[in-house]
Structure 1
């Protein structure tokens, strides 16, 4: 299909070249058209329109060599949106008018009336432009609707589209909420049958009052829902007018309302079932503390308790006795915990413990108590009876949480000696500013957010392999009340600790996507790399936010690369894995930043579908004179290439490093030696 340019192309049907030139001179003088082509008759009319991208047809009906009837018949058969204007001699005007109208001609103009011709051509070109714009908008709307439907397939909230009280489409989560195996099982069920009788009146009112012309109208109801087995659950129902496959309908979003168990119930739920049932039970327990927005409704401490000596016991006393001792240890540990928390055995030698409402001192005290009292039975012959029999790692979970699997993994890492935690107080932390200084920085951030005092700067990512795409990393700067410029390192730590980082990330995402749209419309092949913080990636609605921004500025997902810091990926692998799958659905590219610090980076490349890895800047510093760094960088670049992932080396500070990087097969480079971060999007010479 031809591409329609900004300057329209006219197709003139005439046997006389001089007549075509005369008509074009009339239209060119009025600045209505600059380009044209002519054909002598109706032959190959369809092929010319299809291949040459014509925008308007002028048929010279007064030309004795042009068979007007054949032209009109051929045009009617085309069913095209390209308008046709018939030019006729005044004495033939009445005769040809009826035929032209039946064939779909848009106008009939007398030969000697140039003013009418100019007005008619201007009107038809404007109408054609409006029709094509509407078609483009409709196509984008259909794409957005399809993207929204794909997102409903992966969201954990129940989503349904309802028309006249009947389901026309539901997502898998909606079916699962009502105890059904597949969405098809729900489609045959009337909407009212899924709700308790006392809510039927409210549901009927909702169905009657929905107005498709007011899509911003949103209704929120707390309702009781009924499953086929007569069990009931409470949920919050959000309803708004929508469309499905072009038909007006009502969109429902259903989220269960979690109720916090009492202390007595929590104590009764203590579970020491063997894995994998124990791991599943622990995940379920953690989920009960977190709502659909990944916000922690009941802060808790999670402990991982590992029986460190059991391997030696099994070596000395045999497998069967070792397993018996583990079972007895499980009973001892359960007795110590009692009703204070939820205990579950999650591996052969490991236990997970969730305790509500502990602060740091309380968690330390409980860990010390368990270390001292949780001992293997006396007949377990171990060399050092004074050393603890178990290792314990713990941290506190509050605010917004990652996936339960990531929470358990983090506690396990702390237990076995990796001092890294993603949600709580344990593990190594950066040194925070003094309280007064931090409060002042927080005020500067809030002021900048309120008064649009934030600014994007860009650093180019330059290809060593001849790629012409314009890739840039996006960085954030902040102006305070006194117009002082703060770099990200001056305020990001405070933003994270004060819960402001998500607002900064959203501002950055929207502003960067707006810039992409502006640059792409100007003809530049711009793509931007944006880093998401740990708090933001835990927000289950962040992809919907990105979708809204892409749609607002008419930007494609593959012009945007979302990147995560490697240490954040390690601590949130399950959460990020799901997020990456969703980002892939909207075509965004994905990268890991500061890559190469972990002992086994290949595990991350195998676990995630990545487009880029940005290798940590420390490897580029002094690279030309450091053989060990050169070897490590070669390993990482080769590993990325084997996994079909592009490598970017950041922090490049000198020219000699470029030769090493090119030899190692690195795809892209970034650093102050090439260009410092700038407010412009031009690579400086």
Structure 2
């Protein structure tokens, strides 16, 4: 799923322009794109509050507008803009005062890392609040549609709160022979139940409210004229007008009631074991997830897999394995209390839904099950069989919106076991688990979080006696098994997930750091760093880059930013603006993969480019005279425009004479040196 890249709309109350710019660069260095406005007066604040903003950062004080006034103005307008108040010292009174005024947090000025962490927390919280408000609107719309469906339903439906009717649809009124809903409002539902069934109905409601009862009840109903009839009621939790209540659906009993009940039972059962089947258990999981999200009741799912199932099935045969499964199902029934819902989930898998328990709380009970099964001798038609279990456990909590995710987590935990063991899902392992499963996006996210990408350097060597040191920076990613992931694969996944710009910034920052260290040893080195299509469109890149280069005390021309021709063609307007901006910063620009567009020189007209790297296809099979001519023609046109040319993929000495005659400025390839983790090529070796 692609992650939407969100620009933060940031307000800053700070008299110093330099300090405001420093704060903005903090966010940009942290990979957050920002649109910023600095407030200089109360009138200006009133004006900007007409727009939508994500965060306000207040300096300890301001001559133009006191932070307390800004916070008050936001509260007065009922704007949901989190405020972070900076304080001059770690003054607990000032912090408390800011929090009492309505700031979301207050912290000492200058604690930059903490500021970013707090800001990220508040921005995430703001997104949650906005999502909740959107969900509330959607819920109201859904409730309106639901009300229309209720009114027109052929089933008799009522909503009951504390045993009293609060709503009844037309079918319900007709069933009990009432003219108007107002006649039933405030009337206890028990009044519509026959006297001999009232005590049973009362007990049922009490047990249902505590979650200990089934969801169906059969009893006698009483119409307004006193006539009795048999009904079957289905109960489910609901809300009506924002109030928690019980929805009751009533169907009049008929001659086929027993048959219907039997069919319902069969449709929810596994035919071999008599436990619930997979579809019905997933419905139970959905209901449990709803209870967990609403805070009513947590639960845990145990994913119980038989070890060596294939081997045992081959040994016992189909009839024998069915007997073993039936015996195991009975063992599960005996082991777990009655409120635990059990299912046969797959051929070799049972599941148990344990209400009211966290995964940690049910570990002991599941450990007892492991021992019980390990020591149990299964009698299969006079033969003895033994087996063990692998149990994965995951919890349903207020953060569990999808039951299927819980099943997947418990399943993964069981799959990771060698046998006869329990593994409880750890939320912190989610990213690592996804990476282990080969999810490229997860691997990229993990590499960004753990700083675990690798940078390699491949020399770009002059054919014209230029002694400057040039290297192209190449990014590599290792999978959890330690194998290199093809760059095209993980970069494509990163692009889809909206992470390409983050990767670019990671590469730039780490290249700058390594280059500054390398140049301090007396090397006059330049690095070619690739920019993705996403970075071409990122308007915050140039100001961020300016700050990063100054901080590293590097000359701007130490970096050559390389843009691929396909990206330049696709985003020509943005590429033009970026190359002009880079020229303004005195950075060099290279256009790579050149020569494959329909009109490559048209692209060059619009871009401020210093180097042009020919597409690798032009340096293949240069023994062919036609290919040589095509390359020479392309190079001659580029040299006429005073562009420095680079030919990559030089794999043998045989092409060097051709390239030299064609006037190529620089070459790159495995013949000279492949990508290496260090910048150690001897550039003086080739000088005559």
Q: Quick check: TM above 0.5?
A: no
Give the structure-2-normalised TM-score.
0.39
